[in-house]
Structure 1
Amino acid sequence: MNLKVDRVPSDGYWSNYWLKAPVHFGNINPRPTPDILFSLLYSSDAPWNESQYKSEKFDSMMVEARGALDEEKRTAMYWEMQEMIANEAGTIIPAYISNVDAVSNKLGGLKANPLGGMMGYAFAEYVWLNA
């Protein structure tokens, strides 16, 4: 595959290239549920649908999974939806990022947060150093 890489100015990226250029490389911060990611990135009317993925089956499964009370059924549906994205959507994942929090007994207030490492990157608002 031959790719022509266009370096574009950062000050106009979001308004001039994002969601308009045919290929994007980026990252998405962690989210607490698969439904949030599917809703933001892969439903047919998703506001951040970079891959322009559209599937009536995916959309209906997303709504059904969102309301499923049976955790095993919901998990199986999410797995199938992820397989659909892997096989049908134009998403390139160049790297997987691991977040690891490290703490000390001198630090107070730090708690796990499903929005990312260090309390969703907002730890400075909630932690303190013990004297």
Structure 2
Amino acid sequence: MPKRIFYGLSVLLLSAVQPALAQQFESPGSRLLATGGASTIEGSGGGGIVPWATLSSYADEGEWGATVQMTEVQVDDFSLSVQGASFNWNNRVEVSYARQQFDLETIGGELEQSVWGVKARLSGDLVYGAMPQVSAGI
């Protein structure tokens, strides 16, 4: 089985099972559904051109959580494949990793890199509270 098909099927299976697992292990005060669902191609929680201050997974205070992600982009001249994972502890600290592969099919060649990250929530909350969530990361 080709690697990309294997990764695609794995992510599809995990995404089908993950909401049920999140509800199974979720405590009454845990984060809202979908607040930990967006990931960047660098592997960290958030999204968009500038990553959001959110942390990955549904872990709240006193909990830990993990998120896996896969991104595939294919156009005529190139393709980008990203597999990543992130771990969140106490809705305070996130450690992330992503493996990026950029294929330049028209000129031949491939660029690959690994991206590690650490993010800490400094203050605020994504949904509740008077101030927005503020995080810092490297």
- Asked whether the two chains share a fold, i.e. TM above 0.5, the reply is no
Q: Which has the higher helix share?
A: 1
Q: In terms of Rg, which structure is larger? A: 1
Q: Which has the higher strand share?
A: 2
